[in-house]
Structure 1
Amino acid sequence: MHIAQLPPAPNDPSNLVENTPAAAALGKKLFFDRRFSSNQAVSCASCHDPDKQFQDGRPVGTGVGTSARRTMPVVAAGHSPWLFWDGRKDSVWSQALGPLEDAAEHGGNRLQYAHLMATHYRRDYEASFGKLPELADLPRDASPLGSRAEKMAWNAIVPKTQDNVSRIFANMGKALAAYQKTLQYGAARLDRYIDGVQSGDIAALQILNPQEKNGLRIFIGRGECITCHNGPLLTDQHFHNTGVPSRNPEQPDIGRGGATAKVLQDEFNCLGRYSDAKPEHCQELRFMATDDPHLAGAFKTPALRNVALRSPYMHAGQLASLTDVVRHYVKAPAAVLGHSERQPMNLSETEIRDLAAFLATLSGQIVESGVK
């Protein structure tokens, strides 16, 4: 559980620039640039706000429109093989591309972004990815997604040029991923307490109060929280149905059950033409479970680092506080869709509050390394 035991995020063979300072510096600029949206008012940082734990504090994300799910923090995202609540992306760079073309998030289009790169970031782009293709004779707006007009404009472009534009777009994602890889969680009170347990430091053993220590006992014991929230980031990086109530009961969110086909069809996945990986490097994607009935209504286990600082909770902000979250798991209601993995627990109201208090000991600084 100690953050110092977290190894570096594994290298992503589909992104050869993810560890280069030049790509990270470009990615940081793109992350905060509001021009990369349909209304020139939304950047990645609009929803992944550094002052709000790289999320937005809203029940569901809000960009140029309103999303259906909660914004996930991007800190330490490189440790997960699957991105988003449903895992519909298989790398940080492909995840970064999704919101840019999503109508409710950035709402822009692929050729618009390519023109912006040529106008404002040519030198930065070419330092990492080589010569930027010529775009002067192309329309301002075109994309295989988006409006009817954008699709028609895209279809009028010859395939080689389409490929050039899509490669610029993919490289934007790779630069964004390089920046996000520099964001990591620092030590929290729990980590300093663990240091005290290991060293016998009497002062460090007092860092947690009796209520928080009892919450820790419940977390790793009767509460069974550690079953899914384990390791230094306190997540197993898997998908679980825990009976979380639907935001819209009439149209329950299918979660992971609806995402496997999307990631297989994604042109920016590990096996796609814009990936830097060889097929043998894409084992997660090649052997992904696609027919498991337990995927219905299952969502990714979020990391619990800094969790007390980023309410509300669950995949669509259904629960307002950590106490509400604990009460949900104690009650373990039946799932609206699929089958919940949880069983009711016998915790008193005092124990519920103790467990919620322990979760506040997981908060620490977010550290950005190596980017100017």
Structure 2
Amino acid sequence: MNRFSRLFALLVTAVLAGCGQPEFSDAEKKTIASLALSALPPLKADTTNRFADVPAAAALGATLFFDVGMSGDGKVSCSTCHKIDRQFQDDLPQAVGAGRTNRRTMPLAGVAHDAWLFWDGRRDSLWAQALVPLENPLEQAGNRAAYAHYIKARFGERYERIFGPLPDLSNVPANASPLGSDAEKAAWNAMSDAQAEGVNRVFANIGKAIAAFERSIAPPQTRFDRFAAALATGIQLPQGDDAMSPEEILGLKLFIGKANCVTCHTGPRFSDGSFHNTGVPPVANLPPDRGRMDAVAQVEADPFNCFGAFRDGDASACGELRFIVKAGPELVRAYKTPSLRGAATRPPYMHAGQFSSLDEVVAHYSKAPASVEGVSEVHPLQLSNRERAALVAFLKTLAE
């Protein structure tokens, strides 16, 4: 081989090697690193729940999470909708417990990092959130007095080893709640203040145990995370099954660039934890749903919120509730940004399962239709078919 041939061969080799290594700007690399699971900070201590990191509380919470006895008819548990083999969700457009609800079940991986719970943020702690389905007539459809009796009968010793002595329930009605049927409300109103406080304390501790278990549910590493780690360290990018294709890399660039997805789907969980109106249409035959607008009053009225008597610690933990945005057009039909980790394998999408595929989701954001109420924050992206397909391809790397 002459000198010219050798030089040409070296040039071709260099070009081909360069083609195999995608180019990212320093700003893009910084953004990609911020999305990697390795950037997820350790869970903060939940000072409103002093049992949050107590192993015995988490073990009891796990038992209660899967126990159908924690329902009015003995047929529904938390795991009915939060299925352990389906990322703790149920693949349904609206959750079905004792009845059909009006919202999609949210997955639980990393949920303990959230300041607000539910699609509309109507609860301000994981333990307060865990209490709502227990008494919702469409979910577990029980009542707090019945749960207190059930805990004493089934788990009394375990409960007392964790939380201390159970209250005297001997004269507490079998079924009573301030939120239940007319008969349950009447029974609740006939109880003494001490009896009501005792039942509420047991009820709160049920939520704290379930929350302790849910804090252990973490998102797994994905193909994107392995790519991001290699990119950050400057070593050779993953090869074989772990490699990202040119289409997936284009989708990543669009995600953090032109498509602007990263504005809301930010951080290692691909969620800012905030509430946005993105013009998602309502579902016919479901009750009116105004999202965050109607949730503010609910979280403020919740006796188990951070300012309530059942919070552990002091009010210094209540900054989110203290400075809650109470009104404004931006709250109308605003819903919490869901995490995109694992999203590719858990259709349907949006707060009431409005879209059956990621292709439909991307098409919605590309067109950005006006909201039926309030003002949508998104604007038409005018993505080509190739770009839309690339975005979907990238999102799949968050589930592999």
Measured against the shorter chain, the TM-score band is over 0.9
Greater Rg over alpha carbons, structure: 2
Partners in 1 of 2:39 and 2:286 — Cα distance? 43
Q: Does 1:17 align with 2:45?
A: no
CA deviations over 1:118-137 (Å, ceiling 9, x no partner): 01111111121101112133
Secondary structure of residue in 2 paired with 1:204: coil
2:227–2:237 CA contact under 8 A, matched in 1: no
Q: Does 1:193 align with 2:262?
A: no
Q: Which amino acid aligns with 1:329?
A: Y
CA deviations over 1:187-208 (Å, ceiling 9, x no partner): 1000001122123443516611
Q: Does 1:136 align with 2:170?
A: yes
Instruction: Name the residue aligned to 1:332.
Output: 368
Instruction: Name the residue aligned to 1:47.
Output: 81
Kindly report which structure 2 residues correspond to 1:1-372, keeping only aligned pairs within 5 A, or say none: 1-202=35-236, 204=238, 207-248=243-284, 252-363=288-399
Partners in 2 of 1:205 and 1:269 — Cα distance? 49
1:35–1:41 CA contact under 8 A, matched in 2: yes
1:193–1:208 CA contact under 8 A, matched in 2: yes
Instruction: Name the residue aligned to 2:21.
Output: none
TM-score in terms of structure 1 length: 0.95
Give the aligned length.
364
Q: Structure 1, unaligned stretches of length 5 or more?
A: 365-372
Deviates more, 1:53-62 or 1:346-355: 346-355
CA deviations over 1:228-263 (Å, ceiling 9, x no partner): 001100101100000001113885420001111110
Q: Which amino acid aligns with 1:353?
A: A
Partners in 2 of 1:202 and 1:224 — Cα distance? 28
Deviation at 1:157, TM superposition (A): 1.0
CA deviations over 1:46-71 (Å, ceiling 9, x no partner): 00001111011100010001101111
CA deviations over 1:271-330 (Å, ceiling 9, x no partner): 000111312221110110101221001000001111112110000000000111000000
Partners in 1 of 2:375 and 2:343 — Cα distance? 26
Q: Which amino acid aligns with 1:354?
A: A
Secondary structure of residue in 2 paired with 1:111: helix
Deviation at 1:75, TM superposition (A): 1.7
2:118–2:129 CA contact under 8 A, matched in 1: yes
Q: Which amino acid aligns with 1:197?
A: L
Higher helix share: 2
Same amino acid, percent of matched pairs: 48
Q: Structure 2, unaligned stretches of length 5 or more?
A: 1-34
Partners in 1 of 2:82 and 2:286 — Cα distance? 29
Distance 1:131 1:250, change over 3 A: closer
Q: Which amino acid aligns with 2:228?
A: I
Secondary structure of residue in 2 paired with 1:25: helix
Partners in 2 of 1:96 and 1:249 — Cα distance? 27
Alignment root-mean-square deviation, CA: 1.3
1:115–1:140 CA contact under 8 A, matched in 2: yes
Instruction: Name the residue aligned to 2:4.
Output: none
